[in-house]
Structure 1
């Protein structure tokens, strides 16, 4: 794969920063290819060619926010990395998702709305689902790991995260999801 040109990388970062700013300042309903292009100081064609749609913008921004978690899963230390036991990896991953979701509630909600028709086809969701499914299969081969993975990931639905964190913070979200996971994959 060819390296990204420096100007293309700068444009990508400017565009994603513009999406983030518009989400924070005006909400997802005001994020359009036109508004993002104007904010980023690039042409609408540049945004369209790179991201394709609002959905593409939200998907890329979420993928960027999740990149640190992905790297830790692939080659990081415990509890996320491959050398940790599967149950510890699952709990560590859910903890990281709780932090990510609480910090990025508006993005998560916008992403869900934009991807509503095919949420399960979103590349970030698929990576998360595949990871959780593999871990559950290792710990509980007797259960429907695919379904349980969807169930656990549903805990990070945007409006649910907003409600729970508004009434107990990220600690409440993290504790509740960990409790659910421990019931599914007991020691």
Structure 2
């Protein structure tokens, strides 16, 4: 659904708020990203935050939704292998690589968001990912229960190991582990990590 056109000052405030929130989350963690501190860092009144986003959950959802919408567009209409046109197995690997990066690149946002009560539109994204993964699995591995296996593949990205590895500076290890997991389901042999 398209949003109504924003006034220029409102758009600037929105961008300043989102950038301040990302910065606080990245530098100081989820607990530091209070509405008061975000407002101060963005140079806006606290009331502006509440008026614009409703509450902290609404603000964090807005940040999560930006990345999720971009990924959804890439999956539905972007170039292969993430978008249409590549074999299902390649698309599945590309999707999990992109989703893992989305979570890992903003790990403090992901952790903060998971701790909040579900946003009303949260299920919309989850249902889209589940359907996308299951469709690719049905094509690549028709012998599997695509809905269950797809859910099992996605579940670890919301678990405790992901923030642990990212905070320990092991994002590349996480990405390769997810690739190995998806390849194992696709019956593709794991490749040795490339020497950096």
Q: Normalising by structure 1, what TM-score?
A: 0.82
Alignment: residue pair count: 186
- The verdict on how the C-alpha distance between 1:7 and 1:137 changes in structure 2, with shifts beyond 3 A counting, is farther
Matching residue of 1:81: 83
Mapped to 1, the partners of 2:80 and 2:133 lie a distance apart of 16
Matching residue of 1:63: 65
Residues 78-157 of structure 1: matches in 2 within 5 Å? 78-115=80-117, 121-157=122-158
Matching residue of 2:16: 14
Choose 32-41 or 103-112, whichever is displaced more: 32-41
Mapped to 1, the partners of 2:33 and 2:13 lie a distance apart of 17
Matching residue of 1:41: 43
Residues 78 and 84, structure 1, Cα contact 8 Å, conserved in 2: yes
Residues 61 and 119, structure 2, Cα contact 8 Å, conserved in 1: no
The alpha-carbon deviation at position 36 of structure 1 amounts to 1.8
Aligned CA-pair RMSD? 2.7
Matching residue of 2:191: none
Residues 83 and 91, structure 2, Cα contact 8 Å, conserved in 1: yes
- Computing the radius of gyration from Cα coordinates, the structure with the larger value is 2
The alpha-carbon deviation at position 88 of structure 1 amounts to 1.0
SS at match of 1:114: coil
The alpha-carbon deviation at position 96 of structure 1 amounts to 1.4
Choose 144-153 or 16-25, whichever is displaced more: 144-153
Mapped to 2, the partners of 1:180 and 1:27 lie a distance apart of 29
* Structure with greater helix percent: 1
Q: Which runs of 5+ in 1 are unaligned?
A: none
Mapped to 1, the partners of 2:17 and 2:87 lie a distance apart of 39
SS at match of 1:78: coil
